[in-house]
Structure 1
Amino acid sequence: MPRYFFDTDDGTSPLIDPEGYELPDEAAARWAALDALPDMARDKIPDGDHRTFSVSVRDANQEVIYAATLSLMGGWKKRLRK
């Protein structure tokens, strides 16, 4: 089974995947990358309302074969009462 590497960036901490994952094909790697983005956003929501999350997928030859980005833009529409 082919090995794919998922490099991520949450806007503050880029991470290079040194080990990778065995997946059936490039389509499965794409789905895994897309699936990772909401989890990254959920983990960082307490850190702010404006963040960009990205993931890129490398194949066994270290070539980037897929990349995706998720932007989180949030803001209060009404001031909170203290």
Structure 2
Amino acid sequence: MPIALSGKAEYKQAKTWIMRGVMALYFFDTISVNLHVQDDYGIECGSLCEVKKLAQRALCEMAIHNLNDGDHQTFTVQVRDLLGSEIYTSNLKIAEQYK
């Protein structure tokens, strides 16, 4: 869960940190057909490129651990910043068909 910011000054400071690229806290929510997990702890990342790599790695892990759950699956990682705004979404779709 994002940190509660009590005043305008704290909100402005957090936004400044995010814009400057200082290590910021990001929350990685994971969604699959049967499960939605909201990240309440977060991970510090130094750049949006790092956020993207971690989200894509999470998708791979989700797929590996859920391969036997059906022929058609979609996995999603939604990333929120410290302010609670969704800043990045990545999806992985698995579709199988026997011929």
Asked whether the two chains share a fold, i.e. TM above 0.5, the reply is yes
The CA distance in 1 between the partners of 2:61 and 2:96, in whole Å, is 17
Identity score, percent: 36
Runs of 4+ aligned residues of structure 1 deviating over 6 Å after TM superposition are none
Superposed, 1:3-82 pairs within 5 Å as 3-77=25-99
User: Post-superposition shift, 1:69?
Assistant: 0.7
- The alignment's C-alpha RMSD in Å is 0.9
The CA distance in 2 between the partners of 1:63 and 1:56, in whole Å, is 10
TM, length-normalised to structure 1: 0.88
Q: Which amino acid aligns with 1:14?
A: H
Q: Could you say which structure has the higher helix fraction?
A: 2
Instruction: Specify every segment of 5 or more residues in structure 1 that has no aligned partner in the other structure, as ranges.
Output: 78-82
SS at match of 1:42: helix
